[in-house]
Amino acid sequence: MDVSALQKVRYTYKPKLPASLCGGIDDIAVELGSPTEAAADRDELREIFKKTYGKPLAHFVRGKNDRIRRELKVGVILSGGQAPGGHNVIAGLYDGLKKGNPASELYGFRGGPSGLIENKALVFSGSQIDEYRNTGGFDIIGSGRTKIETPEQFASSLETAKKLGLHAVVIIGGDDSNTNAALLAEYFEKAGAGIQVIGCPKTIDGDLKNEYVETSFGFDTACKTYSELIGNIERDANSAKKYWHFIKLMGRAASHIALECALQTQPNICLISEEVEAKGLSLDQVVDHICASVARRAENGENFGVVLIPEGLVEFIPEMKKLIRELNDAMAEEAEEFAGISSFIDQIYWLSRRISEPSYKALQSLPPEIARELLMDRDPHGNVQVSRIETEKLLTGMVEKKLAAMKSAGLYKGKFSALGHFFGYEGRCAFPSNFDADYCYSLGFSAFVLIASGLTGYLSSVRNLTAPADQWIAGGVPLTMMMNMEQRHGSKKPVIRKALVELEGKPFKAFDAVRDIWAVKTSFLFPGAIQYFGPPEVCDEPSKTLKLEHTP
């Protein structure tokens, strides 16, 4: 097939591995620690995961492993939204299997978890894997957002695995997908099937992390891709000396992407959803904050600027968060009835009898186009699809209205013209950075070692990521260790706890120390395109968030 010059060269890139995974395959052993506990709600989770709760941490060391040469059949699933590096996870898993035993086979399930349910599988060949090494996207088998949750779906998944003679299933996904992996591991164990389940931490949002999972793959590449675009816009704004650019960035539940991009590009304003919630800021107060920067910069003759907005901001503004929670519950409890209402006015009337008065007033106060977006179909996990909510347009309109009032009162004399952008899909399938290419390959190879060693219910883990790759620490984290109980679809369910931006954390504090200067003074940085060739300090550099988190 035809490929670009860059793709040809990227095929030849050899991802770096932790020292524990280098050398002879027979010398990779697993060392187990003490039993673990869940993040919260331990009694409830212990009852749900009777077979898989409390497993020990695992890490790889040099030593003998009598099981690593077994002939294995493993299935792999890409679940949820795309993230740069997914192909390298599969390549690392494939290479590990073939090094362990050339007769081992890797099956790919097409279209996400539904491929396991419906037995839509292919057997990977070496030539097929080679066509996707170090490339972006999930197109090798495609992805999907089907959730394995009904008794019939669990039974069908087991039937497929048995028909194919699988020893294990690897699920590459985010927090919801890996929650599904934990439930599937438990189901297989209760059935006595002897089929293992291993997860890999994927999400550009960066909210699947903890002490043992330092970052999710794809975050590094996506942020560098967005930051290049933001830097280009900043350079344009500073050249033309006009336009305020309101840029919404992907990240449904956390502001890690917005914060990382701010650290890379130094915009005038970067809203952090977690701070908005912690301070209890209303929508009007958020608008006032932006207007203050616009007015101060206008005094300096700079009627231009850049505002970064997390995709999920509306879910963190107190009155909006309450509204969305009540909408989710009402629409989940009577889903069929609501689905049968086609008129927007009739939908609002239907909701007026099912949500609280304050929430109903908040809904009515929104521009109709924004209110409609809040009532769109939920995703498979019952969440509002915040990527469809045009927060950048909502804020632009409110800022424009506020500035007009300030001008009438003699409090503002500048010119305001705004443009809105949403950077999301632009970063999800980019060529992975060297960091993500290495990290993902290591995650895939680690998943093989976990499987070969007979472990199930684990998330592949690679740590010490700010050091050179040969110093990374590979192993596995029990999936139940990261879980708690949360309200989903109107009832409490086990889920992996999302990691939000910590306001006392080093990345936010570094941002907080300089943002007042950025709000007034043009301080833009232009990171440029991702570099794949050159000195390691340029090409292998991890995210600023990761470096700050691991600064002594």
Residue pLDDT, tens place only, 430-451 = 999 999 999 999 999 999 999 9
What is the pLDDT at residue 98?
Answer: 98
Examine residue 302 and state whether it is found in any structural domain, yes or no: yes
Provide the CB-side half-sphere exposure for 431 (13 A, CA): 16
Q: Are residues 395 and 279 part of one domain?
A: yes
Q: What is the pLDDT of residues 5-22, one digit of tens each?
A: 999 999 999 999 999 999
Model confidence at 381: pLDDT above 70: no
Question: Which one has a higher pLDDT value, 176 or 491?
Answer: 176
What is the pLDDT at residue 380?
Answer: 61
Q: Are residues 321 and 456 part of one domain?
A: no
Q: What is the pLDDT of residues 411-433, one digit of tens each?
A: 999 999 999 999 999 999 999 99
Q: Are residues 438 and 418 part of one domain?
A: no
Examine residue 180 and state whether it is found in any structural domain, yes or no: yes
Examine residue 14 and state whether it is found in any structural domain, yes or no: no
Examine residue 141 and state whether it is found in any structural domain, yes or no: yes
Q: Which of 205, 207, 436, 438 is catalytic?
A: 205
Report the alpha-carbon distance of residue 474 to residue 212 in Å, rounded: 10
Neighbouring CB atoms inside 10 A of 152's CB total 10
Model confidence at 490: pLDDT above 70: no
The CATH number for 337's domain is 3.40.50.460
Query: What's the DSSP call for residue 243?
Result: E
What is the pLDDT at residue 220?
Answer: 98
Report the alpha-carbon distance of residue 105 to residue 113 in Å, rounded: 19
Distance (Å) of CA 543 to CA 101, 182, 215, 407, 526? 36, 29, 10, 41, 15
pTM of the model: 0.93
Cα torsion 88, 89, 91, 92: sign: positive
Number of domains, the chain: 2
Examine residue 1 and state whether it is found in any structural domain, yes or no: no
What is the pLDDT at residue 333?
Answer: 85
Residue 473's beta-bridge partner residues? 463
Examine residue 144 and state whether it is found in any structural domain, yes or no: yes
The CATH number for 481's domain is 3.40.50.450
Share of the chain above pLDDT 90, in %: 88
What is the pLDDT at residue 329?
Answer: 87
Q: Are residues 392 and 306 part of one domain?
A: yes
Angle, in degrees to the nearest 10, between helices 357-365 and 344-352? 160
Task: Report the candidate in 543, 465, 472, 429 with the shortest Cα–Cα distance to residue 132.
Answer: 429
pLDDT band at residue 504 under the 50/70/90 scheme: very high
Q: Residue-wise over 401-434: b if at least 16 C-beta within 10 A, else e? A: ebbeebeeeeebebebebebbbbbeebbbbbbbb
φ, ψ for residue 305 (rounded to 5)? 175, 180
pLDDT band at residue 335 under the 50/70/90 scheme: confident
Q: Are residues 521 and 508 part of one domain?
A: yes
Q: Are residues 360 and 308 part of one domain?
A: yes
Q: Are residues 202 and 172 part of one domain?
A: yes
Query: What's the DSSP call for residue 216?
Result: -
Domain boundary among 496, 519, 534: 496
Examine residue 311 and state whether it is found in any structural domain, yes or no: yes
Q: Are residues 39 and 181 part of one domain?
A: yes
pLDDT band at residue 325 under the 50/70/90 scheme: confident
Neighbouring CB atoms inside 10 A of 178's CB total 30
Q: Are residues 142 and 62 part of one domain?
A: yes
Model confidence at 332: pLDDT above 90: no
Residue 212 makes CB contacts below 8 A (sequence gap 6+) with 57, 461, 463, 475, 477, 481
Q: Are residues 225 and 121 part of one domain?
A: no
Domain limits for position 126? 23-218+432-496
For the chain, the average pLDDT equals 95
**Catalytic residue at 205?**
yes
Q: What is the pLDDT of residues 251-286, one digit of tens each?
A: 888 999 999 999 999 999 999 999 999 999 999 999
Q: Are residues 182 and 316 part of one domain?
A: no
Q: Are residues 509 and 452 part of one domain?
A: no
